[in-house]
Amino acid sequence: MQRSPEPDREPLPGGLLEPRDQLVVVVLFGGRSSEHSVSCATAGGILGAIDRERYRVIPVGITREGAFVLEQDDADRFALSGSTLPSVSDNGTRVQWPTSSASRELTVTEGGVIRSLGDIDVVFPILHGRFGEDGTVQGMLELLGLPYVGDGVLASAVGMDKHFTKTVLQASGVTVAPWITVTADRWQADASAIESRVAEAFTWPVFVKPARAGSSVGVSRVGSAGELAAAIRLALAEDVKVLVEAAVVGREIECGVLGGRLGGEPRVSVAGEIVTAPGEFYDFDSKYLDGEAATLVCPADLTPSQLAELQGIASTAFRAIDGTGLARVDFFLTTSGFVVNEINTSPGFTPVSMFPRCWLESGLGYGALIDELIQLGLETAR
């Protein structure tokens, strides 16, 4: 293995040698989870909108097998196009993180030669799902002393696990949908007892979802007792722990949250609404493949008092999980008031996703939102 004799003079992807007065941002995406392609689509949005005068970007992809590779700095490569889902391919390169917190130098091995990518200022992880959104990558970056965008280890882990999200929010006085948690070992030991417990606790329909997955992967609407076992098996294919939730009848409302600057209170956007056809739910295909399956309405039609109440609950939920970076809080607006469905600490971030759309309607455009998140990550460096 050779090391380039002049690493500081090696050109970056695209052949440019950028001035050092720019902040160097590693955009980290892909990953080992079932939401790999969603993360890549988010990367496409960020690569296309980040301010290139302020930031030099190093795109680092994580393959489905977990290899860190130097990716192309090409937003179009990662765009969602019809039914085609983008992904990180193993191009043979290997990105190496700094060897200790005493260094911020990123290097890449390619063709048997190690070359420097220079010192990095901040990492922008846009990973969805396990092995990225759940505190694992956040912990790695903290061990290396690298500033990063988003929430810390605790908030990421709590927000990723729907059982613990509900537990923490309920303890903070936030209303959540009733649920039963089912683990793989308990299901294997006595599936019939679990089916009986669900039938006694809830009326049909119910929703079954993996505890630690997003983008509605592995989620099923169960209309009768006869459908429950198959739905639980489908969810268990994504995680060893699943939730069975009571169906909540109400409007699907979402809002964005940003951490406060300089220790201030969390900032909450206006709300948006997801409108689906009667009897349908907002599944993976509706979100990413079928542009006509659901309508995103932003801002949502709420009274001033309803919006204020929603924003207060979202702020409480964000602080309850120890949030410091960002989150999208998902609600049902029922006849009895707001019910929190989930809190997502790494929400979809394409230009048309709900999180950036809510902030756009709140006066913060897509490029400015990216900048705000980077600056917030630098400010709250652990």
Per-residue pLDDT tens for 327-349? 999 999 999 999 999 999 999 99
Low-confidence ranges of the chain (pLDDT < 70): 1-20, 82, 214-215, 278-293
What is the identity of the amino acid at 57?
Answer: V
- pTM here is 0.89
What is the chain's alpha carbon radius of gyration, rounded to the nearest angstrom?
Answer: 21
- Whose tokens are 């302020």? That residue is 54
Enclosing H/E stretch for 328: strand 326-334
What's residue 276's pLDDT?
83
- Predicted pLDDT at 351: 86
> Nearest Cα to 101, choosing from 130, 141, 51?
141
Q: Residue 5: its pLDDT value, please?
A: 44
Q: Would you say 207 and 221 are in contact if contact means Cβ atoms under 8 Å apart?
A: yes
What confidence tens digit (pLDDT) does each residue in 235-271 have? 999 999 999 999 999 999 999 999 999 889 999 999 9
Name which of 211, 67, 213 is nearest 130 in CA terms: 213
Identity of the residue numbered 281: F
Residue ranges and CATH numbers for the domains of the chain are 2-148 (3.40.50.20), 159-176+249-379 (3.30.470.20), 179-246 (3.30.1490.20)
pLDDT of residue 3: 54
Structure tokens at 363: 């006066």
What secondary structure does DSSP assign to 276-322, as a single string?
E-TT----HHHHHT-TTSEEEESS----HHHHHHHHHHHHHHHHHTT
